[in-house]
């Protein structure tokens, strides 16, 4: 009996241009899928309409094509699938594991500061549960007033329904079963008044709908898996395997982040670097990557990488970046 082919995904947010950290994540998923004769999917996580830009979405697609990292099937854009998340949210509300929270961020910080021995995790202190005990009349009155609110997962109620849950984490020495411990994350936000989803809910629903069997992502997102397992168990969704890879860091050892404006693939292309050079730099960073760069570049070459791209006429200076440069100079299109 043979197992089903591996299905992975690369799911960036179009809030800026790709950097080496993104390429490393894309490579992890691409290599796992292609090495198993499976499928590599591309998803744009663009639910934050205030920060996401069409020009960045176009640039992500163009950079991946230029690098030779082809994907299977259409690109899934989260902003086009709010109905999927709303259906999942309705099911959770029917289970009474979701409640409205009317606290501002400052009120939450103040409540945490007043609480003795408030727990702390790397992603910050969890929500202290200020609105969890509101009666249904108070909740309804506040919602009718029109003030902003978020919908939070009642973690205690959720865990009472799911019981102990675990997942399989693929590590260097093989697969390991890990017991979910979402308590340090607390009652996470699942949606907001004007947006029927959040990162946690959308990612969980998308992975199930797209048939993802192996989630490859940076180790900074490993803690999110605990919450995602809870949502999968509540919604009756399949559980993929997980593989969290080491991050690409800067000279000071800090994770590459768009807000810090790291060197982008755009600027590396402009400097004259080839796809193979960028792939090699991304693939040779981190644990267990010393021999992978050459193998990946060889696979891309055999797949028709740069020759195919030249035939498609991909420009040296991408249109999205050129447009952004003209806009910054105040020039008309």
Determine contact, residues 155/182, Cβ cutoff 8 Å: yes
What pLDDT, in 10s, does the model give residues 147-165? 889 999 999 999 999 999 9
Residue 64 and residue 248: Cα distance in Å, rounded?
18
What pLDDT, in 10s, does the model give residues 102-141? 988 787 766 655 543 333 334 557 888 889 999 989 999 9
Domain holding 40, by residue range, is 7-77+247-329
Residue 282 and residue 107: Cα distance in Å, rounded?
41
Residue 1 lies in a domain: no
Residue 281 lies in a domain: yes
What pLDDT, in 10s, does the model give residues 52-82? 999 999 999 999 999 999 999 999 999 999 9
Q: Is 86 exposed, middle or buried (0-12, 13-18, 19+ CB in 10 A)?
A: middle
Assigned token pair, 146: 């029109």
Cα-flanking dihedrals φ and ψ of residue 151, to 5°? -105, 120
pLDDT, position 42? 98
Res. 328: pLDDT tops 50: no
Same domain, 87 and 200: yes
Q: What is the pTM of this model?
A: 0.81
pLDDT, position 320? 40
* Strand pairing class (174-179; 166-171): antiparallel
Q: Mean pLDDT across the chain, nearest whole number?
A: 82
Question: What CATH number is given to the structural domain containing 197?
Answer: 3.90.800.10
Residue 52 and residue 46: Cα distance in Å, rounded?
6
What pLDDT, in 10s, does the model give residues 256-272? 555 545 589 999 999 99
Same domain, 54 and 176: no
pLDDT, position 143? 87
Determine contact, residues 153/92, Cβ cutoff 8 Å: yes
Question: What CATH number is given to the structural domain containing 285?
Answer: 3.40.50.620
Residue range 197-203: average pLDDT?
A: 96
- Cβ within 8 Å of residue 9, ≥6 positions away: 29, 40, 41, 42, 43, 206, 207, 210, 212, 215
Residue 2 lies in a domain: no
Same domain, 95 and 162: yes
Number of domains in the chain: 2
């Amino acid at each position: 009996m043979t197992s089903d082919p591996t299905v992975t995904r690369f799911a960036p947010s179009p809030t800026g241009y790709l950097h080496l950290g993104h390429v490393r994540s894309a490579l992890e998923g691409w290599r796992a899928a292609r090495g198993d004769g499976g499928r590599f999917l591309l998803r744009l996580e663009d639910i934050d309409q205030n920060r996401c830009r069409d020009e960045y979405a176009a640039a992500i697609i163009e950079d991946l094509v230029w690098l030779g990292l082809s994907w299977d099937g259409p690109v899934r854009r989260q902003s086009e699938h709010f109905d999927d998340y709303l259906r999942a949210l309705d099911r959770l509300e029917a289970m009474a594991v979701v409640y409205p929270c009317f606290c501002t961020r400052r009120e939450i910080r103040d409540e945490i500061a007043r609480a003795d021995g408030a727990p702390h995790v790397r992603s910050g202190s969890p929500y202290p549960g200020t609105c969890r005990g509101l009666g249904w009349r108070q909740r309804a009155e506040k919602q009718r007033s029109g003030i902003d609110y978020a919908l939070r997962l009642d973690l205690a109620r959720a865990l009472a329904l799911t019981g102990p849950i675990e997942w399989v984490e693929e590590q260097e020495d093989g697969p390991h079963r890990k017991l979910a411990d979402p308590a340090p994350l607390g009652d996470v936000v699942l949606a907001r008044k004007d947006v029927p989803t959040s990162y946690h809910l959308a990612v969980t629903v998308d992975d199930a709908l797209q048939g993802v069997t192996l989630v490859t992502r940076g180790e900074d997102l490993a803690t999110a898996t605990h919450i995602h397992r809870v949502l999968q168990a509540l919604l009756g969704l399949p559980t993929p395997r997980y593989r969290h890879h080491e991050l690409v860091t800067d000279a000071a050892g800090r994770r590459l982040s768009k807000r810090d404006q790291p060197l982008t693939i755009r600027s590396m292309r402009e400097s004259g670097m080839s796809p193979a050079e960028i792939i090699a730099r991304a693939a040779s960073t981190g644990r267990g990557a010393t021999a992978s760069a050459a193998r990946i570049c060889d696979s891309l070459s055999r797949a028709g990488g740069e020759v195919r791209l030249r035939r498609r006429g991909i420009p040296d200076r991408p249109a999205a970046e050129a447009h952004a440069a003209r806009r910054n100079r105040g020039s008309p299109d």
